[in-house]
Amino acid sequence: MNKATIVIVVVAAAMNSMASAQESNASEAAIVRESAGYTATLLRQPRCAAVFGEGAADTLRSAEFRFVPMGKPKVRLDGTVVVVAAVTLREFRLILINRDGPFLQPQMTGNRIGGLGVDFRFGLQPHAYRALLLLHELGHLMGKFKPDASDSELATEYTNLVRKGCF
Ligand SMILES: [Zn+2]
């Protein structure tokens, strides 16, 4: 394959994703606004706020949200299904949400090898599940949760902390 072909393909792919980003931006922004509003109401419960410490509501309000394609669910060798929901860049107060992940598609299910269904939602309604994701990222934004992008057990532990405290 020659280099020119690769460059053209990459540019075309980038233009496609920019085009689709512009199409869906308004509805994505609306969903995240609504979710952040609901998340703020959950934070008014002292038990939930205690998970994050002082100033959590303000930190949530000052956070910026962006949608980025970070890949669809993948089946690992052990049969578990993994998908990136969101990534927080604390130094930029930025929460990147996977455009192809369960935040926008809370009904998303993966299939385990052997045909067992996987639900990423823990049985929560979509609005509650989105709030769970935002609260998990808020934990990172507050510096309460350590980076867990490469440690799915730690990530699950943090999600369970939020589920216990806030739902
Ligand atoms: Zn995390």
Between CA 63 and CA 61 the distance in angstroms is 6
pLDDT at 23 over 90: no
Q: How far is the CA of 9 from the centre of ligand 1 (A)?
A: 33
Cα(138)–Cα(87) distance, integer angstroms: 10
The tally of domains found in the chain comes to: 1
For residue 109, what pLDDT band results from cuts at 50, 70 and 90?
low
Q: How far is the CA of 94 from the centre of ligand 1 (A)?
A: 13
Q: What is the mean pLDDT of residues 74-96?
A: 86
Residue type, 48: C
CA of 20 to the centre of ligand 1 (A): 27
Is the pLDDT at 139 greater than 90? The verdict is: yes
Domain with 41 in it: 3-166
Range with the poorest average pLDDT among 12-21, 29-38, 60-69, 144-153: 12-21
pTM for this predicted structure = 0.79
Å from CA of 153 to ligand 1 middle: 10
Cα 115 vs. chain centroid, distance in angstroms? 25
Yes or no: say if 92 and 54 are a contact pair by the CB < 8 Å rule: no
